[in-house]
């Protein structure tokens, strides 16, 4: 239950960072959003791994599930925020689909960073 709770909190913080500091609802794919997602993912996942290390010996296999949970929670939360936004879409279908594509990229980056941090951490058993 702790893994799910930490993953949910991390996903909410990531979505707050994305929707608060970027224009993810724009109709373009932006490197600024991807770099911000990678940086904030490093910070959030680093904090999460440190919290788990403070708890004592922990196995790497348990954190792989957390990475999956984070990816799913970011997709769910972001989809709700994008769908409930009142942004008018102007010209074509790409204007309506691009926020969802960026959200998918960000959630995959967030999950991948967590998996890489767990794989390369020598302290975890």
63-118 pLDDT per residue, tens: 777 788 888 888 888 888 777 877 666 566 667 777 888 888 888 888 888 888 87
Residue 44 CA to residue 24 CA, distance in Å, equals: 19
The stretch 14-40 carries a mean pLDDT of: 74
**CB of 117 within 8 A of CB of 50?**
no
Average pLDDT, the chain: 76
Contacts of 79 (CB under 8 A, 6+ apart): 100, 103
What pTM value is reported for the model? 0.75
Which band of pLDDT confidence, cut at 50, 70 and 90, is reported for residue 18?
A: confident
Domain for residue 125, yes or no? no
Domain for residue 110, yes or no? yes
4 or 125, greater pLDDT: 4
Question: How many structural domains is the chain composed of?
Answer: 1
Provide the domain limits for residue 17.
Answer: 2-120
Which band of pLDDT confidence, cut at 50, 70 and 90, is reported for residue 56?
A: low
Distances, alpha carbon 5 to alpha carbons 1, 86, 89, 90, in Å: 6, 30, 35, 38
């Amino acid at each position: 239950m702790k893994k799910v709770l930490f993953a949910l909190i991390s996903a909410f913080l990531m979505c707050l960072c994305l929707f608060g500091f970027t224009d993810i609802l724009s109709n373009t794919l932006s490197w600024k959003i991807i770099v911000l997602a990678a940086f904030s993912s490093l910070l959030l996942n680093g904090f999460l791994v440190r919290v788990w290390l403070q708890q004592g010996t922990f196995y790497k296999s348990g954190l792989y599930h957390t990475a999956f949970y984070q990816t799913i929670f970011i997709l769910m939360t972001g989809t709700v925020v994008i769908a409930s936004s009142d942004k008018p879409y102007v010209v074509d279908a790409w204007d309506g689909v691009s926020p969802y594509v960026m959200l998918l990229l960000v959630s995959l980056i967030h999950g991948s960073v967590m998996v890489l941090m767990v794989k390369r951490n020598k302290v975890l058993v």
